[in-house]
Structure 1
């Protein structure tokens, strides 16, 4: 029986996960399909039961379901349990297990920019993606990690979990020049007409500004950071690396990530620069 996989989220039309995984299936001779499924928050439990009933072999999870999905799964990988967020689900024949590949995927893309572990890092946002990235940064050796979020209580919770610190968005704006790496993890920027998550007027030229969004390739956050003299990293590297980890968990095959980054960039109409 042909296996099938999916990605669920809201919105989902922008996702290039189907293109990426379908391409890898073909390149590696895997007889499988991958589809996008828009799931509104109120329908998450019904959607998950439907996926199980229809025999999905695994699926990815994007905003806003990375935390809400946890109690519905049969078990969690230790890392996902600690992070409190899941972006990849694997069916082992009996159970649906949750994993988080976001953080490791992001860190791989960050190290490609030759970053310094001693710099102060600001993570904007405190949702599922932010949790995955914050924990991965900690594991990678970054010692000074600060979380800023619209709801400061959520920032404080995440900061406590990683032995970091928390700021309000206004405090982060005022002290932006202290940070060598600024990571934007919220959904602000999926549409080019959206506002910035914080003002970048005080950002330090030469610092690294990263956005986990890859479509559009240059969000308003990255465009403004570039104007301010920053090195910018879009979400393509994270997207491909986290997808490759998920693909290997599903199939046991390590796909070609470098080729995929070029394919994704070309598909979006640009040139790959995250090297």
Structure 2
């Protein structure tokens, strides 16, 4: 007997720029299938001038939630019924969750990174050096601070943006934060515990981009992480591995933020291994 079609599927989506094959869509839908959920995760291109109508469309069509990418993470806040404390600190939302008649915003970027980091070490009490001061850096900075990091050094080419992130972290969290200008190959202090690349250096298609770091200053006890998921193995991670440093690729952060969003939408705990396998298939790992 032919199985009857079920048209009453729950829906989640991502608002952002179009891609030929959305890795997050592949990851989330693989998790839905593995959990036996008849849900769909749709990729929807939304122009900035149509964002308000798109959010109202979520309400009208009963979507359970959404992700957002650039350029919507800040502008969407004004159209939501509330946001989490962490999202308010960052000033950006990448995840919308329906609770009753309300659409609430959260930011899973930093949470996903911290969860990935905790698989190797607890960030509490650690000295962190983070390259970059954009949206990913803001999210990671806030969440590592809230997780109890002892000290964060922001390294950035733009002094203005770097100083702004330092000011945010010093005013909104209890972590000691300072800024260093990124001019040439950066040299790490001997007591650094965790190094984070929160920039786009090495992101596809510039996969051969050389990371501006004095690699002789790396020590085998330093944990080196990169938020770039494509390619999973960047120049920074390759060079760090040669020295014997533990490394974290961007797939871990992407999986963990996907897990958090999945739990918020469905109330179900997905299998991270299924989600990572889906991403590895997309990226040909």
Q: TM-score range by the shorter chain?
A: 0.7 to 0.9
**CA 1:196–1:229 in 2, change beyond 3 Å: closer, same or farther?**
farther
Q: Give RMSD over aligned pairs.
A: 2.7
Per-residue deviation, 1:248:
0.9
Match of 2:113?
A: 106
Residue number in structure 2 paired with 1:273: none
Superposed, 1:191-202 pairs within 5 Å as 191-193=204-206, 196=209, 198-202=211-215
CA contact (8 A) 1:102 1:129 kept: yes
When residues 50 and 149 of structure 1 are mapped into structure 2, their CA distance, relative to the original with a 3 A threshold, is farther
Shift of 1:76: 0.5
What is the number of equivalent residue pairs in this alignment?
269
The list of structure 1 runs, each at least 4 consecutive aligned residues, that deviate by more than 6 angstroms after superposition, is none
Report the structure number with the largest CA radius of gyration: 2
TM score, norm. by length of structure 2? 0.81
* 1:1-275 alignment, distance < 5 Å: 1-10=8-17, 12-13=19-20, 15-39=22-46, 44-45=51-52, 47-114=54-121, 117-163=124-170, 164-170=177-183, 173-178=185-190, 179-193=192-206, 196=209, 198-202=211-215, 203-206=217-220, 207-227=222-242, 229-270=244-285
Measured after TM superposition, the shift of residue 85 of structure 1 is 1.9
Provide the C-alpha distance between the structure 2 equivalents of 1:13 and 1:227, rounded to a whole number of angstroms.
34
Whole-Å Cα distance in 2 between the matches of residues 114 and 30 of structure 1? 33
Specify the SS of the correspondent of 1:215. coil
**Cα deviation digits, residues 198-251 of structure 1 (max 9, x gap):** 502244142222111222211333334445554321111111111111111111
Residues 254-274 of structure 1, C-alpha deviations (whole Å, 9 max, x = no match): 11123432443355333xxxx
For the 8 Å contact 2:123–2:144, the answer to whether it is kept is no
Aligned counterparts of 1:187 and 1:12: Cα–Cα separation in 2: 18
Structure 2: 5+ residue runs without aligned partners? 1-7, 171-176
| 1:80–1:86 contact (8 Å) kept in structure 2 | yes
Deviations 1:28-85 (A, max 9, x none): 2222210123445565445445545544321112334333322232211122112222
**Secondary structure, aligned partner of 1:141:** coil
Q: What displacement does 1:174 show?
A: 3.4
RCO (CA 8 Å, sep 6+): is it higher in 1 or 2? 2
Q: Tell me whether 234-243 or 194-203 shows the greater mean CA deviation.
A: 194-203
SS at 2:11 equivalent: strand
Residue ranges of structure 1 left out of the alignment (5+ in a row): 271-275
Deviation of 1:195 (Å): 6.8
TM-score by length of 1: 0.84
| 8 Å CA contact 2:130, 2:153 repeated in 1 | yes
CA contact (8 A) 1:25 1:31 kept: yes
CA distance in 1, matches of 2:131, 2:52: 28
Q: Using the alignment, how far apart are the partners of 2:156 and 2:19 within structure 1?
A: 24
2-structure distance, mates of 1:159, 1:33 = 39
